[in-house]
């Protein structure tokens, strides 16, 4: 039976006594979770006493309301402290202490693989989702005229990567459009219609960063495999957000960041590469030929700080102390609280599905007749709410015909903060 404390100590991520000694450390969260263990995740999602305990594990800016956690989340104090401690220790004698930290990485790799349902030998550490996905995008062999099918709502950096390959390698990139929200069946149909005999790659999000549209990854992966097409999945908004298993998704590549929903330090992410794809995929930065079938060849980027990667252990332990299902249920509860409060107004448009198992902590709202960028600025100026406007006008990359505010709470977001957002939007509707 896996033990959180045993894992952290075995991996070197925490010293003896650190977990038990903090006032709102891992033991406190585990005890709070044990007190609600007999309840369903949906019931726990509404237990404010429990979530106040979770909030106490963070040091947050008391003057701001963060509804842009889809960009970056605050780390729990135990994670931030571990990161700082690793940095301080490394600085004493970098070549020695960095090496000691690197000895913990295989334990972290095993636990990440266990959490997300893959073989450890299929998981490479990266610094973020962009690096992970660029490895896949640039590493797949493509010939002039080969086609990539993606969408206009994929992340700009990934679209730029395909555009560069089109310029350099003369491949063809087909960007699909789709309405928001839509269904999994509709997305499968659109990919089927976009395929041609020259299609070699499907590239799509697990959950889009724009509206939180969920893609039917397994169905698209099976469709692709039947035709010899490679699947590259952008999971930047999925890992740590809601439970899933990479084995069950059946994709070839999956890249994600861990500084969003897993709440690990910046500079952490991973790339999953299906075992039979590792040898044929070129690393983004050259590695020795003898590493051809080793997933670690994708980690050969030169000297890099080890502290952030070592602190993944603490972030993963915190995530498990809450429980992935409870966390997902809470994020959905917070989303429904603001969406249900606003959606009846005739000028409000919810551009995300609110169906169960389709939306958790990322959804978009628009107000007819109101510029989203101006609204985001007004919410900050008048209410100190940090929230992004998702628009494409005047920006390079994706092109979609809607705009709105992307609302992304986190487990430390309080009902009072959600209600403050609702009240601020209602002021605009008067």
DSSP 16: T
Pick 325-429's CATH classification: 1.10.1060.10, 2.60.120.10, 3.90.1150.10, 3.40.50.2000: 3.90.1150.10
- What pLDDT shows up at residue 305? 84
Confidence of residue 395 (pLDDT cuts 50, 70, 90): low
Closest CA to 304 of 71, 69, 65, 94: 94
Q: Is the pLDDT of residue 1 over 70?
A: no
Under 8 Å between Cβ of 123 and 109: yes
Q: What are phi and psi of 188, to 5 degrees?
A: -60, -45
Place of tokens 């003896």: 16
Give residue-wise pLDDT tens across range 333-370: 999 999 999 999 999 999 999 999 999 999 999 999 99
Confidence of residue 16 (pLDDT cuts 50, 70, 90): very low
Give residue-wise pLDDT tens across range 87-107: 999 999 999 999 999 999 999
Confidence of residue 396 (pLDDT cuts 50, 70, 90): low
- What pLDDT shows up at residue 397? 61
pTM: 0.93
Return the CATH architecture of domain 105-314: 3-Layer(aba) Sandwich (3.40)
If you average pLDDT over residues 124-130, what whole number do you get?
98
Confidence of residue 10 (pLDDT cuts 50, 70, 90): very low
Under 8 Å between Cβ of 44 and 326: yes
Confidence of residue 304 (pLDDT cuts 50, 70, 90): confident
DSSP string of 62-102?
A: TT-EE-BTTT--PPPHHHHHHHHHHHHHHHHSHHHHHHHHH
Beta bridge partners of 201: 148, 230
Decide: helix, strand or coil at residue 199.
Answer: strand
CA distance 110 to 123: 9
CA distance 12 to 82: 10
Q: Roughly what angle, to the nearest 10 degrees, separates helices 312-322 and 77-92? A: 160
Q: Indicate the pairing of strand 65-66 with strand 385-386.
A: parallel
If you average pLDDT over residues 72-76, what whole number do you get?
98
Give residue-wise pLDDT tens across range 260-295: 999 999 999 999 999 999 999 999 999 999 999 999
CA distance 187 to 151: 10
Q: Is the pLDDT of residue 230 over 80?
A: yes
Give residue-wise pLDDT tens across range 138-184: 999 999 999 999 999 999 999 999 999 999 999 999 999 999 999 99
Task: Kindly report which listed range (10-19, 150-159, 421-430) carries the lowest average pLDDT score.
Answer: 10-19
Closest CA to 269 of 400, 126, 402, 147: 126
Measure the CA dihedral 10/15/20/23, to 10°.
-130
Place of tokens 């249900």: 340
DSSP 121: G
Q: Is the pLDDT of residue 8 over 60?
A: no
* 16 C-beta neighbours (distance < 10 Å), count: 9
Percent of the chain with pLDDT over 70: 93
Q: Over the range 69-84, which residues count as b (16 or more CB within 10 Å of their CB) and which as e? A: bbeebbbbbbbbbbbe
Under 8 Å between Cβ of 407 and 335: yes
Decide: helix, strand or coil at residue 366.
Answer: strand
- What pLDDT shows up at residue 401? 82
Percent of the chain with pLDDT over 90: 91
Where would I find the beta strands (DSSP E) of 206-325?
A: 230-234, 253-257, 269-273
Q: Is the pLDDT of residue 193 over 80?
A: yes
Q: Is the pLDDT of residue 23 over 80?
A: no
- What pLDDT shows up at residue 285? 96
Sheet of 123-126, strands arranged across? 123-126, 269-273, 253-257, 230-234, 199-205, 147-151, 172-176
**Structure token pair of residue 328:** 């997902």
Helices (H) and strands (E) in the chain, counts: 19, 13
Check residue 94 and give left, alpha or beta (phi > 0: left; psi -120 to 50: alpha). Answer: alpha
If you average pLDDT over residues 5-15, what whole number do you get?
43
Where would I find the beta strands (DSSP E) of 90-145?
A: 123-126
Closest CA to 211 of 398, 414, 11, 411: 398
**Per-domain boundaries in the chain:** 105-314, 325-429
Q: Cα–Cα distances in Å, from 161 out to 150, 166, 185, 343, 398? A: 12, 9, 28, 37, 12
Q: Average pLDDT over the chain, rounded to whole?
A: 93
CA distance 405 to 407: 6
If you average pLDDT over residues 112-128, what whole number do you get?
98
């Amino acid at each position: 039976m896996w033990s959180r404390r045993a894992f952290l100590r075995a991996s070197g991520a925490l010293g003896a006594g650190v977990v038990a000694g903090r006032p709102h450390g891992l033991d406190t969260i585990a005890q709070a979770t044990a007190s609600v263990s007999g309840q369903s995740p949906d019931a726990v999602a509404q237990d404010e006493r429990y979530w106040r305990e979770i909030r106490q594990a963070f040091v947050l800016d008391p003057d701001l309301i963060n509804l842009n956690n889809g960009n970056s989340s605050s780390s729990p104090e135990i994670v931030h402290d571990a990161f700082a401690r690793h940095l301080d220790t490394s600085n004493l004698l970098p070549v020695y202490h960095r090496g000691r930290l690197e000895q913990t990485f295989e334990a972290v790799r095993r636990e990440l693989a266990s959490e997300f349902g893959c073989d450890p030998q299929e998981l490479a550490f990266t610094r973020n989702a962009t690096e992970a996905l660029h490895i896949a995008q640039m590493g797949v062999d493509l010939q002039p005229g080969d086609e990539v099918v993606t969408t206009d709502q994929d992340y700009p950096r990934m679209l730029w990567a395909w555009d560069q390959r089109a310029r350099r390698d003369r491949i063809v990139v087909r960007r699909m459009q789709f309405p928001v929200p839509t269904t999994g069946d509709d997305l499968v149909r659109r990919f089927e219609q976009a395929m041609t005999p020259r299609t070699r790659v499907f590239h799509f999000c697990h959950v889009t960063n724009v509206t939180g549209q969920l893609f039917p990854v397994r169905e698209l992966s099976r469709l692709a495999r039947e035709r010899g097409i490679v699947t590259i999945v952008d999971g930047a908004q999925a890992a740590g957000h809601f439970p899933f298993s990479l084995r069950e998704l059946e994709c070839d590549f999956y890249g994600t960041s861990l500084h969003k929903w897993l709440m690990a330090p910046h500079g952490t992410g991973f790339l999953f590469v299906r075992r039979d794809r590792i040898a044929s995929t070129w690393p983004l930065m050259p590695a020795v030929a003898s590493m051809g079938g080793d997933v670690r060849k994708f980690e050969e980027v030169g000297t890099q700080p080890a502290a952030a990667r070592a602190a993944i252990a603490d972030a993963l332990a915190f995530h498990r102390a809450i429980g992935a299902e409870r966390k997902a249920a809470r994020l959905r509860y917070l989303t429904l609280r603001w969406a249900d409060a606003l959606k009846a107004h005739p000028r409000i448009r919810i551009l995300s599905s609110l169906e169960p198992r389709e939306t958790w902590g990322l959804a978009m709202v628009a107000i007819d007749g109101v510029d989203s960028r101006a609204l985001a600025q007004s919410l900050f100026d008048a209410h100190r709410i940090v929230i992004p406007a998702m628009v494409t006008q005047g920006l390079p990359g994706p092109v979609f015909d809607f705009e709105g505010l992307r609302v992304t709470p986190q487990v430390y977001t309080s009902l009072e903060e959600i209600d403050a957002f609702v009240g601020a939007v209602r002021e605009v509707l008067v």
